[in-house]
Amino acid sequence: MSSLLIYIILLIRISFFTLLERKILGYCQLRKGPNKVGLCGILQPFADALKLFSKEINIPKSANKSAFYLAPVLGLFLSLSIWLIYPRFSSRFFITFSSIFFLCVSSLGVYCVLGAG
Protein backbone atom coordinates (compact mmCIF):
# COMPACT_ATOMS: atom_id res chain seq x y z
CA MET A 1 0.00 0.00 0.00
CA SER A 2 2.79 2.42 0.82
CA SER A 3 4.51 1.84 -2.55
CA LEU A 4 1.30 2.71 -4.39
CA LEU A 5 0.97 5.89 -2.36
CA ILE A 6 4.58 6.80 -3.12
CA TYR A 7 3.98 6.31 -6.85
CA ILE A 8 0.85 8.49 -6.80
CA ILE A 9 2.65 11.25 -4.91
CA LEU A 10 5.55 10.96 -7.35
CA LEU A 11 3.26 11.38 -10.37
CA ILE A 12 1.65 14.46 -8.81
CA ARG A 13 5.09 15.91 -8.10
CA ILE A 14 6.12 15.36 -11.71
CA SER A 15 3.06 17.27 -12.91
CA PHE A 16 4.00 20.23 -10.72
CA PHE A 17 7.59 20.10 -11.94
CA THR A 18 6.16 20.35 -15.45
CA LEU A 19 4.25 23.44 -14.32
CA LEU A 20 7.47 24.91 -12.92
CA GLU A 21 9.25 24.20 -16.20
CA ARG A 22 6.48 25.89 -18.17
CA LYS A 23 6.62 28.95 -15.95
CA ILE A 24 10.39 29.25 -16.27
CA LEU A 25 10.23 28.83 -20.04
CA GLY A 26 7.44 31.41 -20.16
CA TYR A 27 9.57 33.94 -18.30
CA CYS A 28 12.64 33.16 -20.43
CA GLN A 29 10.68 33.65 -23.65
CA LEU A 30 8.94 36.82 -22.38
CA ARG A 31 5.41 35.42 -22.55
CA LYS A 32 2.75 34.77 -19.94
CA GLY A 33 2.91 31.00 -19.51
CA PRO A 34 0.36 28.83 -17.67
CA ASN A 35 -1.26 31.46 -15.45
CA LYS A 36 -4.82 31.10 -16.71
CA VAL A 37 -6.20 28.25 -14.55
CA GLY A 38 -6.58 28.98 -10.84
CA LEU A 39 -4.38 31.15 -8.68
CA CYS A 40 -0.99 31.60 -10.41
CA GLY A 41 -1.64 28.51 -12.54
CA ILE A 42 -1.70 26.06 -9.63
CA LEU A 43 -4.60 24.10 -11.17
CA GLN A 44 -2.90 23.80 -14.57
CA PRO A 45 -1.56 20.22 -14.02
CA PHE A 46 -5.06 19.02 -13.12
CA ALA A 47 -6.50 20.77 -16.18
CA ASP A 48 -3.84 19.08 -18.32
CA ALA A 49 -4.73 15.68 -16.83
CA LEU A 50 -8.44 16.27 -17.47
CA LYS A 51 -7.70 17.26 -21.05
CA LEU A 52 -5.52 14.18 -21.51
CA PHE A 53 -8.19 11.79 -20.23
CA SER A 54 -11.03 13.43 -22.18
CA LYS A 55 -9.32 13.38 -25.58
CA GLU A 56 -10.74 11.15 -28.26
CA ILE A 57 -8.59 8.16 -29.13
CA ASN A 58 -7.88 7.78 -32.84
CA ILE A 59 -7.06 4.17 -33.65
CA PRO A 60 -5.50 3.43 -37.04
CA LYS A 61 -7.59 0.96 -39.06
CA SER A 62 -4.73 -1.41 -39.72
CA ALA A 63 -3.39 -1.39 -36.15
CA ASN A 64 -3.45 -4.34 -33.81
CA LYS A 65 -5.91 -3.08 -31.20
CA SER A 66 -4.62 -5.11 -28.26
CA ALA A 67 -1.02 -3.95 -28.82
CA PHE A 68 -2.25 -0.40 -29.40
CA TYR A 69 -4.02 -0.33 -26.03
CA LEU A 70 -1.34 -2.19 -24.08
CA ALA A 71 1.62 -0.10 -25.31
CA PRO A 72 1.01 2.87 -22.94
CA VAL A 73 0.36 0.49 -20.04
CA LEU A 74 3.66 -1.27 -20.74
CA GLY A 75 5.46 2.07 -20.98
CA LEU A 76 4.07 3.21 -17.62
CA PHE A 77 4.94 -0.13 -16.03
CA LEU A 78 8.51 0.01 -17.36
CA SER A 79 9.08 3.60 -16.28
CA LEU A 80 7.74 2.90 -12.79
CA SER A 81 9.76 -0.29 -12.46
CA ILE A 82 12.99 1.67 -12.87
CA TRP A 83 12.21 3.22 -9.47
CA LEU A 84 12.91 -0.20 -7.92
CA ILE A 85 16.66 0.35 -8.19
CA TYR A 86 16.63 3.31 -5.79
CA PRO A 87 17.50 2.36 -2.20
CA ARG A 88 14.73 2.39 0.38
CA PHE A 89 14.66 2.36 4.17
CA SER A 90 13.49 -1.25 4.29
CA SER A 91 15.75 -3.92 2.85
CA ARG A 92 13.09 -6.48 1.96
CA PHE A 93 13.48 -5.77 -1.77
CA PHE A 94 17.03 -5.19 -2.96
CA ILE A 95 18.36 -5.54 -6.51
CA THR A 96 22.00 -6.57 -6.54
CA PHE A 97 22.79 -5.75 -10.17
CA SER A 98 20.83 -2.53 -10.43
CA SER A 99 22.82 -1.13 -13.37
CA ILE A 100 22.11 -4.23 -15.47
CA PHE A 101 18.44 -4.06 -14.43
CA PHE A 102 18.31 -0.41 -15.54
CA LEU A 103 19.82 -1.23 -18.93
CA CYS A 104 17.42 -4.15 -19.47
CA VAL A 105 14.29 -2.22 -18.52
CA SER A 106 15.24 0.90 -20.47
CA SER A 107 15.95 -1.20 -23.57
CA LEU A 108 12.43 -2.67 -23.40
CA GLY A 109 10.97 0.81 -23.95
CA VAL A 110 11.40 0.35 -27.70
CA TYR A 111 8.58 -2.18 -27.71
CA CYS A 112 6.15 0.44 -26.37
CA VAL A 113 6.84 2.65 -29.37
CA LEU A 114 6.57 -0.29 -31.77
CA GLY A 115 3.29 -1.45 -30.22
CA ALA A 116 1.73 2.00 -30.35
CA GLY A 117 2.41 2.25 -34.06
Render each residue's pLDDT in the chain as its tens digit; 117 residues: 687 888 888 888 888 888 888 778 777 777 666 666 567 677 777 777 788 778 777 777 887 888 888 888 999 999 888 887 777 666 666 677 778 888 999 999 898 888 887
Final residue before a domain boundary, out of 55, 83, 99: 55
Quote the CA–CA distance of 50 and 44 in Å, as a whole number: 10
- Mapping DSSP to helix (H, G, I), strand (E, B) and coil, where does residue 3 land? helix
Q: What is the CA radius of gyration of the chain?
A: 18
Same-domain status, 69 and 116: yes
Range of the domain at 68: 60-117
Same-domain status, 23 and 67: no
pTM to 2 decimal places: 0.53
Same-domain status, 75 and 111: yes
Final residue before a domain boundary, out of 55, 73, 97: 55
Helix extents (H) in the chain: 2-28, 44-54, 65-81, 98-107, 109-116
Same-domain status, 41 and 74: no
* Length of the chain measured in residues: 117
Give the Å distances, CA to CA, from 110 to 32, 74, 79, 114. Answer: 36, 11, 12, 6
Tally of structural domains, the chain: 2
